[in-house]
Structure 1
């Protein structure tokens, strides 16, 4: 079984919350849907219905993911709130949640990309580390 960095980060965050009698806010985000073709969408095709379907699918998957995370927190008897941030890059969503919720620590997964992959895809963890005013625990 392969465990995703988000799963590992959730486990680490719940353990940290248990040790400190803290509550957690579990955040997931979905990137804005990009057509890759500028303002015109998919060229001459009206892509609005495709974009709506993609965003609905993203929202459904986020709801499923957050329900599973909440169940894990409930099983550990840790107070948790879930937050879905659509149309935002993960780093932006985490920083917005940090501000709104006045959180004192961030626990997040990192894919651990290096070299060319990191250059192309960027690092959401590095972005959060660069802009966070609170401690950040990254889990690979």
Structure 2
């Protein structure tokens, strides 16, 4: 049923629950996986600039990009090691400078994934509204089935 499973992760301990579940599912059904991490663009806040504060953007943006790339490489290496331990065929993908939910759905569609396995904090009500939810956005915009791990 599932041939190619997309597993998004941000490298957090919480996201690891989704990685573990997705890898174990892939192993049990003989599926391949794509493990993806997305790093967001450097944010420049207009209010700070209008107040007279502006960081040296080229250095700050470059430093941000370098740190994000380094973090993504570690996240993906850790996830690949977990896949290797389970004997799951895994590909890793880093999507830089993108909105996570949009990038996850795009990868799932363009690579013809049969399932997305993603972790969710399970927040409700005002906390979810204030904190946002990439999982919720993936759920609302994906044409690929989504398995949410809490």
**Structure 2 length normalisation: TM-score?**
0.83
CA RMSD across the alignment? 2.1
* Contact kept in structure 2, 1:37 and 1:43, CA below 8 Å: no
* Residues in 1 aligned to 2:93 and 2:104: alpha-carbon distance in whole angstroms: 10
Match of 1:46 in 2: 56
Of residues 120, 125, 129 in structure 2, which corresponds to 1:115? 125
Q: Which runs of 5+ in 2 are unaligned?
A: 1-11
* Contact kept in structure 2, 1:30 and 1:88, CA below 8 Å: yes
Does 2:10 correspond to 1:8?
A: no
Does 2:68 correspond to 1:68?
A: no
Runs of 4+ with >4 A deviation: 40-45
**Structure 1 length normalisation: TM-score?**
0.89
Of residues 101, 119, 129 in structure 2, which corresponds to 1:91? 101
Q: Please give the per-residue CA displacement for 1:95-126, whole angstroms capped at 9, x wherever unaligned.
A: 11112211000001112233333222321111
Match of 1:135 in 2: 145
In the alignment of these two chains, the number of paired residues is 138
